[in-house]
């Protein structure tokens, strides 16, 4: 059986545009080693199991789900999607739109803010720089629940619980994103270029916007992607903050459906189909933006 | 007169460099302001509020009706005492400890194995498998748990169907003990690819001439992996291990999502779940606050070592 996903549109370059020399890219040189290749294929197979299952299970009608062999397609995909769409007047698609809004807008604002802050930390020397950075970074280490409970209470104080804003706002500050942007700015933005722009008489904000930001674009995209995935995956915060299911992101929505499903197995089919449909956009985003994803920022091994 | 170089602005000549020293000094603070204000409101203030709440208690007199029936006052460390003496917190901590000891070594071991195999200079299917193994990172923990949870359910699981077809008894994948394996599998599935990519990226930063010499000396790929690559990866391995440990301590979505499908997961299965229950089910915000301060303190202590490590590595480059 072939484990090659049909979605593979791998660019000819390496993911990071790094060196592609010393025969890394030419498997034809010599025989392919058996054991390493087998290990990779096993890993690939394992990672595809649940995804293959959800594709199959989504095609089964409610009765087929419990009666036919698991990895055998059923006959009800379109019906399932139709039922999901019909469920409480398209509530599911509302959840998807909410997730896209929370993750898209939140990650975009977060990436911009991270770049501005990271740039300031990397390229200016000012009293209190280290202290400010450490305070910002401390946010990484605080368990989300420690923030979520008081955030809920504080939002309640100002009457903002159960609002889009209450989920969006906390996701804009990303200590991790600031850290990445700082590393990236330090490694990729040359001081000479900033100086040149300054002698031309450009104001500081303009120097950042016109000179630094274009250079920092790969870092910006990386922060965006990390943050997008983090927000899209977020469960705890919206679960605590939101009570109106019309504002739920898709993760919280599907969880509540599953919870009801424990008493009405007919909802299982909706949960399974919903899971499949919710995974597709994120995987598409991943595959299309893979080349911009700079994981090397994490290990601090940045090449300017 | 304009200088020969093209002016930065599209209009007019470049101005004299600003001599306004005072405003120039304020620039970095202005750049920092949005992040500092937001994180003060959304991170620092909630932390302070949690600590404040953890030191207070509510006393209900009479029937607890009306404003005069509830009195809030400072109690010092009473809540902390109550939190620490609750056996359920320790049971949860122990469960998380066991879970962490299963997840972290297995996930990192697999990530290291895949990273080394990807770096093997003649391996096939490198790009496809790298992408597919990384793919689960894009699947939210809740969805991943849903998918695996259905694969564990006796009614739909292919494992059970296969066993039944062979006339063998089914295995319970959601029992008191086996639920650890079930949760570990979900964490490993979701986290291996990301860690693999971090390690693989670190490997690709190694200059190739390091290997050339070893190759000329007739070293095999396996020997090079063990003697050159793994030692080179030590800092990245320490970092991924600490990240994974912190993530493990804070596990919440997976057990919560699996609980409707399994009887083995109580509402206090992990410490964070207990905080949630105390705060929102039992309405004891003060005990929840004290417990989350304790969890945060433990996380901080564990993370401090990690920060030192990362800072010394990342900011050596900045002072070039």
pLDDT tens sequence across A24-71: 444 445 666 888 899 999 999 999 999 998 888 888 877 777 666 666
C-alpha distances (whole Å) from B168 to each of B153, B161, B163, B178, B273 are 16, 10, 5, 18, 36
Chain B CB contacts of A261 under 8 Å are 260
Out of A24-33, A230-239, B33-42, B65-74, which region has the weakest mean confidence (pLDDT)? A24-33
Residue B279 has pLDDT above 60, yes or no: yes
pLDDT value of residue A296: 65
**Most confident option among A24-38, A97-111, B145-159:** A97-111
Instruction: Collect all residues of chain B within an 8 Å Cβ-Cβ radius of residue A300.
Output: 310, 313-314, 317
pLDDT digits (tens, 9 = 90+) for B93-146: 999 999 999 999 999 999 999 999 998 878 888 888 988 999 899 899 999 999
3-state secondary structure chain B: CCCCCCCCCCCCCCCCCCCCHHHHHHHHHHHHHHHHHHHHHHHHHHHHHHHHHHCEEEEECCCCCCHHHEEEEECCCHHHHHHHCCHHHHHHHHHHHHHHHHHHHHHHHHHHHHHHHHCCCCCCCHHHHHHHHHHHHHCCHHHHHHHHHHHHCCCCCHHHHHHHHCCCCCCCCCCCCHHHHHHHHHHHHHHHHHHHHHHHHHHHCCCCHHHHHHHHCCCCHHHHHHHHHHHHHHHHHHHHHHHHHHHHHCCCHHHHHHCCCCCCCCCCCCHHHHHHHHHHHCCCHHHHHHHHHHHHHHHHHHHHHHHHHHHHHHCCCCCC
What pLDDT, on the 0 to 100 scale, is given for residue B136?
A: 93
Tell me which of B320 and B94 has the higher pLDDT.
Answer: B94
CB pairs under 8 A between A and B: 340
From CA B253, how far away is CA A199, in angstroms rounded?
53
Look at residue A71 in the predicted model and tell me its pLDDT.
64
- The more confidently predicted of residues A250 and A61 is A250
Tell me the nearest-neighbour CA distance from A247 into chain B, angstroms.
17
Quick one: how far is CA B304 from the chain centroid? 15
What's the pLDDT at B116?
92
Smallest Cβ distance to B123: which of A36, A199, A272? A36
Contact B141 A66 (CB under 8 A): no
What is the spatial distance between Cα A35 and Cα B288, in angstroms, rounded to a whole number?
51
Is residue B190 within 8 A of residue B138, CB to CB? The reply is: no
Of B99, B38, B283, B149, residue with least CA distance to A53:
B149
**Model confidence, pTM:** 0.82
Q: Do A142 and B60 form a contact (C-beta atoms < 8 A)?
A: no
B140 interaction partners in chain A (CB closer than 8 Å): 232-233, 235, 251, 278, 282
Residue B319 has pLDDT above 60, yes or no: no
Highest mean pLDDT among A82-86, A97-101, A123-127, A268-272: A97-101
Q: Which residue has the tokens 């970095």?
A: B28
Choose from A94-98, A240-244, B217-221, B234-238 the range with maximum mean pLDDT. Answer: A94-98
The CA distance from A89 to the nearest CA of chain B, in Å, is 22
Quick one: pLDDT at residue B311? 61
From chain A, pick out residues whose CB is under 8 angstroms from the CB of B198: 295, 298-299
| Residues of chain B numbered 39-68 and touching chain A (CB < 8 Å) | 39, 42-47, 49-50, 53
Residue of B nearest to A256 (CA): B257
Which A-chain residues 232-251 have CB contacts (< 8 A) with chain B?
232-233, 235-236, 240, 251
Is the CB of B132 less than 8 angstroms away from the CB of A44?
A: yes
A141-151 pLDDT, tens per residue? 677 767 888 88
User: Is B42 in contact with A147 (Cβ distance < 8 A)?
Assistant: yes
Find the range with the poorest average confidence among A128-137, A228-237, B11-20: B11-20
- How far is it, in rounded angstroms, from Cα A252 to Cα A238? 7
> Inter-chain contact B42–A299, Cβ cutoff 8 Å?
no
Is residue A263 scored above 90 in pLDDT?
no
Per-residue pLDDT, averaged over B202-212, amounts to 82
| Interface contact A107, partner B, CB < 8 A | no
How would residue B49 be classed by pLDDT, with cut points 50, 70 and 90? Answer: very high
Question: Which helix (H) or strand (E) is A25 found in, with range?
Answer: none
Residue B4 has pLDDT above 60, yes or no: no
* Model pLDDT, residue A11: 38
Q: For an interface test with A, give the residue of B113, B150, B247, B320 to mutate (most A CBs within 10 A).
A: B150
Best-predicted range by mean pLDDT (A16-30, A95-109, A275-289):
A95-109
pLDDT digits (tens, 9 = 90+) for B174-196: 788 889 999 999 999 999 999 99
Q: What is the overall mean pLDDT for chain B?
A: 82
Distances (CA, A) of B73 to A158, A263, B56, B63, B76: 23, 43, 5, 18, 9
Per-residue model confidence (pLDDT) at position A228:
92
A280 touches chain B (CB under 8 A): no
| Residue A38 pLDDT | 92
- CB contacts under 8 A, A 133-152 vs B, are 135-147, 149-151
Average pLDDT for chain A: 81
Q: Which residues of B touch A24 (CB under 8 A)?
A: 121, 126
Q: Rounded to the nearest 5°, which phi and psi values hold at B60?
A: -105, 120
DSSP letter, residue A26: -
Residue B23 clears pLDDT 50, i.e. is over it: yes
Which residue, B24, B25, B5, is CA-closest to B13?
B5
């Amino acid at each position: 059986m072939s484990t090659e996903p049909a979605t593979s549109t791998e660019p000819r370059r390496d993911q990071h545009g790094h060196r592609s020399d010393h025969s890394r890219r030419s498997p034809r040189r010599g025989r392919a080693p058996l054991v390493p290749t087998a290990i990779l294929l096993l890993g690939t197979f394992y990672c595809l199991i649940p995804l293959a299952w959800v594709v199959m299970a989504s095609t089964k009608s409610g009765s087929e789900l419990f009666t036919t062999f698991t990895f055998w397609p059923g006959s009800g995909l379109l019906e399932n999607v139709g039922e999901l769409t019909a469920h409480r007047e398209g509530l599911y698609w509302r959840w998807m739109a909410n997730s896209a809004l929370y993750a898209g807008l939140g990650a975009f604002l977060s990436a911009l803010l991270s770049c501005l802050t990271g740039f300031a930390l990397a390229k200016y020397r000012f009293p209190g720089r280290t202290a400010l950075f450490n305070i910002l970074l401390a946010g990484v280490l605080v368990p989300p629940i420690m923030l979520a409970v008081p955030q809920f209470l504080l939002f309640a104080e100002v009457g903002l619980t159960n609002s889009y804003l209450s989920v969006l706002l906390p996701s804009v500050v990303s200590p991790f994103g600031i850290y990445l942007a700082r590393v990236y700015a330090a490694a990729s933005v040359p001081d000479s270029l900033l100086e040149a722009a300054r002698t031309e008489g450009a104001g500081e904000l303009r120097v950042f916007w016109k000179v630094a930001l274009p250079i920092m674009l790969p870092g910006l995209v990386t922060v965006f992607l990390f943050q997008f995935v983090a927000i899209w995956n977020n469960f705890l915060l919206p679960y605590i903050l939101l009570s109106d299911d019309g504002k739920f992101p898709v993760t919280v929505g599907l969880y509540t459906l599953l919870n009801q499903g424990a008493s009405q197995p007919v909802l299982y089919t909706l949960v399974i189909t919903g899971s499949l449909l919710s995974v597709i956009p994120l995987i598409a985003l991943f595959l299309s933006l893979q080349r911009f994803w700079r994981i090397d920022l994490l290990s601090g091994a940045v090449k300017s | 007169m304009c200088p020969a170089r093209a002016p930065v602005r599209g209009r007019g000549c470049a101005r004299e460099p600003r001599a306004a020293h005072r405003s120039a000094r304020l620039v970095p603070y202005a750049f920092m302001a949005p992040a500092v204000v937001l994180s003060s409101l959304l991170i620092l203030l909630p932390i302070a509020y949690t600590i404040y709440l953890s030191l207070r208690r509510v006393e209900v007199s009479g029937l607890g009706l009306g404003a005069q029936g509830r009195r809030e006052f400072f109690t010092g460390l009473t809540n902390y005492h109550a939190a620490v003496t609750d056996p359920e917190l320790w049971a949860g901590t122990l469960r998380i400890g066991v879970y962490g000891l299963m997840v972290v070594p297995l996930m990192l071991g697999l990530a290291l194995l895949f990273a080394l195999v990807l770096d093997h200079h003649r391996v096939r299917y490198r790009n496809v498998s790298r992408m597919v193994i990384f793919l689960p990172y894009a699947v939210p923990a809740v969805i991943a748990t849903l998918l695996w949870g259905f694969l564990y359910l006796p009614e739909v699981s292919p494992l059970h169907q296969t066993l039944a077809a062979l006339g063998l008894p089914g295995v319970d994948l959601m029992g008191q003990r086996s639920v650890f394996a079930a949760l570990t599998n979900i964490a490993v599935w979701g986290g291996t690819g990301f860690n693999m990519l971090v390690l693989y990226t670190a490997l690709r930063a190694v200059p190739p001439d390091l290997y050339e010499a070893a190759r000329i000396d007739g070293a095999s790929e396996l020997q090079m992996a063990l003697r050159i690559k793994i030692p080179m990866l030590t800092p990245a391995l320490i970092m991924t291990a600490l990240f994974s440990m912190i993530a493990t301590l804070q596990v919440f979505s997976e057990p919560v999502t699996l609980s409707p499908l399994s009887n083995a997961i109580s509402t206090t299965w992990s410490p964070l779940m207990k905080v949630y229950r105390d705060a929102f089910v039992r309405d004891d915000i003060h005990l929840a606050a004290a417990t989350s301060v304790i969890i945060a303190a433990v996380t901080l202590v564990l993370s401090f070592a990690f920060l030192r490590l990362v800072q010394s590595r990342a900011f050596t480059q900045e002072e070039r």
